[in-house]
Structure 1
Amino acid sequence: MLDRRRLIGGFLPGLGLATLLPGCRSDPAPGGTPPAEAARRAEGLDPGPDPDFEALLTASPAGNPYAPLGAALRGLEAGRQGRALVLMLGDSHTAFPRMAERLRELLQVRFGAVGPGRMPPGRAQSSFVPAGITLIQEGSWSTAHALRAATPGPFGLAGYRLTGSQAGDHLSLASADPRGFDRLHLTLQCGPESGSFRLIGAGIPEAPRATRTAAPRLRLIRLDLPPGQRSVTLELMGDGPVTLLGWGVDRRGRGAMVESFGINGATLATLDNRDPAIVARELSVAPPALIILEYGTNEATDRDFDPAAYGLALSRRIAALRAASPRSGILLMGAPDAGRPIRRGRGACPVTPLPALAAVRSTQRRVAAAERVGFFDWAEEVTGGLCRLPSLARATPPLMRPDLVHFTTDGYRLTAERLHANLLRGAGLGGAAA
């Protein structure tokens, strides 16, 4: 089992231990009494839509993809209670968290800071190293992700799954933010063989939370914690597997949030590998003001790229997101300039473009116009042309990595600043410089 003395004196200071409540226990009998339902709500089990996210949204985008975000942000500036969520889904550009973190920072400075929100579970996404958060995963955990259609699900928004079963194996999250957090989110896949876990944190009661259910089912937990929490640990009891599809922390109250989920190597098609019922449930409990789709770089490497098929796939994905989250706006990020360096100069432009880059971008722009969703021209806003990539890689500080495909931390931060200005302009709140 987890050495609590080490936690109390080291990584997780000042932990209080008491009694925890059940988590994914068997379904209650139909016709449960209101007190029983109230108890389940107090335990954070199967939460309904968060009224703070719904409070500031318009009834529908009504043809303006920025309208829900604009309404939510204006409501926050007016002092109304609520939250404005921007959700990003994408490839390695999004999997590396610096772009989303900078966008979150910019929005939260002006509209209120409530923490990071939901993330991939534990260290399932090994390259995910968020700023200001320490993630520790100890024990025999198995990981899967939704990159390939052949990988058995289920997967939710995060696109990752983490399963453990050995007693004492644990996941820990610690925040460097002095304000801490006071809410924990868990997304669990439960079933007849599922085991139990306990949570350890300052002032959190302690007792096993069972995840066993009569049939496979999703279980969401949104648990309110004592204010100022700086760390939390999930420890397995060893009585069966516990499967996490996501987790996260934030603070109750009004403000803006940016959540991002990316998979290295992902294309738009990888969204089809997520369970649509799980995604719809996750979107329903925290409806975004804006959903950003950041794909295209990996499609651009396809020498057999079919623009017509890709356009249909984009339109279908937009329709699916609208059906799952009808009050959300949608924005496409056009694929940025990317290519392969030519070591022995060939003319004035020592870069070979990715084979389908131009076709991908033109299709994205066409679909964005036809479907009336937002469009962020990443190439125009940041890279400024294929032949500029080497100079961006040599800049001080460098903005591109030597592969001329991925950005540096500074490049992603610059992208976020230009995207932030684009969102504010679209939302009717001006385009003030970052």
Structure 2
Amino acid sequence: MKMKHLSPNRSFLIRSGVFVVLFSLLVSCHNDRNRPAKEGGEQENAAIAHQLTDFDEPNLRALAEKLRSASQQSIHIVQLGDSHTAADFFTGALRQQLQRRFGDGGPGFISPVAVPGQRYAEISFAADKRAWQLISSRKEKRTDFPLGGMMAQPAGEQASVILNSRRAGDSYLVQALYRSSGQSTLALQSAGQQRTLPLPATDGNWRFSSAAPAALPLNASVNQGASLQLGGWLIARDRPGVMLSALGINGATINMLDKWQDWPETLAQMKPDMVILSYGTNEAFNASLDAAQYRQNLESKIAALRRVAPQAVVLLLGPGDSIKRADAGSCQQMQPPLLNTVIQVQQAVARQQHTLFWNWRDYMGGECAIQRWASEGLARPDMVHLSQAGYEQSAQALYQQLMQILAL
């Protein structure tokens, strides 16, 4: 039998057709891998910028418009989280990027006095430690803490704290978050001027005082009368721009918020335009974590946010990569027992609740990538926390991806 040879033109057409089909299949597979899947395997259309995914967050367009008009209005971003937030390296770098482009709206919410193991990029404290009793929701089981989880009460007849800024002399609007059983006062002294703010009784709730103009450094004094307690300070610029508040506690999980009395209502008073939930590392190290219960807790927190701040964008910031047993034989054995589960739950909740989700671990390079980060000076030897440079690099990546999602 004679072999039939194709004409050169026909052979070229067939080869071209095969190439087109193969190329289409490859592109399709690549897109499927980068498109988040719905539960059950169904693919979903979601905007993705590298590791940042928009699962149809309803307030995203409004946030973009606010940022475009940042020269005429203030934008407040609030991040709640664990030790990755408490150091203010990540949030400090994110704050700096946003303020550099959209204007400096102030450092935001800070603790009432200095908290051991925590820092703020913009603000530092000076106070006699004996003058204050600091109580932390990290150590106490009580459930009457304010938003942020710290409260300070005078240890004597009178107590004062000095708030210092890296940019001394700049003017701000200062509010105190407080709780008082009766009428009290707050004395503010700065730049040679003194102002006294009335602090009415709060009926057992946490409230913000009226705003007072002040320059930093600021000396704030209170008396012990009326069982006064301070929960923090809200420090804003007297001009438009972005303000980013970092509320982090070392060792915290999402359940820490359950110790904060009426935290959604206090958050509503801060009028956030975006809320970032940055938990998951400590959950991942908990071998007895109930994944279903964890998901339910996360969903309830987002529901509370949507109720009191319906205008705010919600971003779930997944945990970065970490290692529990560096001496284990394989990467899988090195990992915290539930790190993969926590990330999967967060992504599923983000999809269901229509929030943003940033896969920090994926940005770092995936499983056991923190080893490389540590060798490059981007992570600390504990293989859990990053170095300042590592946090700053991560914040820069999130900022760039957020701008891409916002089309800014």
Verify same fold: TM over 0.5.
yes
Query: 1:226-375 maps to which residues of 2 (within 5 A)?
Result: 229-239=215-225, 241-276=227-262, 279-343=263-327, 346=329, 349=331, 352-375=334-357
**Which of 386, 391, 397 is residue 372 of structure 2 equivalent to?**
391
The count of corresponding residues between Structure 1 and Structure 2 is 353
TM-score normalised by structure 2 residue count? 0.80
Question: Unmatched 5+ residue regions in structure 1?
Answer: 1-60, 430-434
**Which of 68, 76, 99 is residue 74 of structure 1 equivalent to?**
68
Shift of residue 346 of structure 1? 2.5
Q: Distance in 2 between matches of 1:319 and 1:303?
A: 27
Shift of residue 179 of structure 1? 5.8
Q: Distance in 2 between matches of 1:127 and 1:289?
A: 28
AA paired with 1:411?
G
Q: Distance in 2 between matches of 1:212 and 1:83?
A: 27
AA paired with 2:367?
L
- Aligned pair in 2 of structure 1 residues 271, 218: CA closer, same or farther (>3 Å)? closer
Query: 1:102-251 maps to which residues of 2 (within 5 A)?
Result: 102-123=93-114, 125-138=115-128, 139-147=130-138, 151-178=141-168, 180-192=170-182, 196-207=185-196, 211=199, 213=201, 215-225=203-213, 229-239=215-225, 241-251=227-237
Shift of residue 422 of structure 1? 2.1
Do the aligned partners of 2:109 and 2:234 also contact (CA within 8 Å) in 1? Answer: yes
Shift of residue 406 of structure 1? 0.7
Question: Unmatched 5+ residue regions in structure 2?
Answer: 1-54
Q: Where does residue 29 of structure 1 map in the other structure?
A: none
Q: Distance in 2 between matches of 1:300 and 1:63?
A: 26
Q: Where does residue 91 of structure 2 map in the other structure?
A: 100
What SS class does the counterpart of residue 251 from structure 2 fall into?
coil
- Aligned pair in 2 of structure 1 residues 238, 414: CA closer, same or farther (>3 Å)? same
- Aligned pair in 2 of structure 1 residues 365, 214: CA closer, same or farther (>3 Å)? closer
AA paired with 2:394?
T
**Bigger fraction of residues in helix:** 2
Query: Which sits farther off after the overlay, 162-171 or 95-104?
Result: 162-171
Q: Distance in 2 between matches of 1:214 and 1:288?
A: 22
Q: Distance in 2 between matches of 1:206 and 1:178?
A: 19
Q: Distance in 1 between matches of 2:216 and 2:198?
A: 25
Query: Which sits farther off after the overlay, 238-247 or 210-219?
Result: 210-219
Q: Where does residue 414 of structure 1 map in the other structure?
A: 393
Q: Where does residue 39 of structure 1 map in the other structure?
A: none
Q: Distance in 1 between matches of 2:347 and 2:205?
A: 39
Q: Where does residue 21 of structure 1 map in the other structure?
A: none
Shift of residue 301 of structure 1? 1.1
Do the aligned partners of 1:167 and 1:238 also contact (CA within 8 Å) in 2? Answer: yes
Do the aligned partners of 1:66 and 1:290 also contact (CA within 8 Å) in 2? Answer: no
TM-score normalised by structure 1 residue count? 0.76
- Aligned pair in 2 of structure 1 residues 218, 367: CA closer, same or farther (>3 Å)? closer
Do the aligned partners of 1:191 and 1:217 also contact (CA within 8 Å) in 2? Answer: no
- Aligned pair in 2 of structure 1 residues 222, 361: CA closer, same or farther (>3 Å)? same
- Aligned pair in 2 of structure 1 residues 367, 214: CA closer, same or farther (>3 Å)? closer
Bigger radius of gyration among the two: 2
Shift of residue 281 of structure 1? 3.5
Shift of residue 197 of structure 1? 4.1
Do the aligned partners of 1:201 and 1:231 also contact (CA within 8 Å) in 2? Answer: yes
Q: Distance in 2 between matches of 1:178 and 1:238?
A: 29
Do the aligned partners of 2:164 and 2:218 also contact (CA within 8 Å) in 1? Answer: yes
Q: Distance in 2 between matches of 1:203 and 1:178?
A: 14
- Aligned pair in 2 of structure 1 residues 63, 250: CA closer, same or farther (>3 Å)? closer
After the TM superposition, list the runs of 4 or more consecutive aligned residues in structure 1 that deviate by more than 6 angstroms. Answer: none
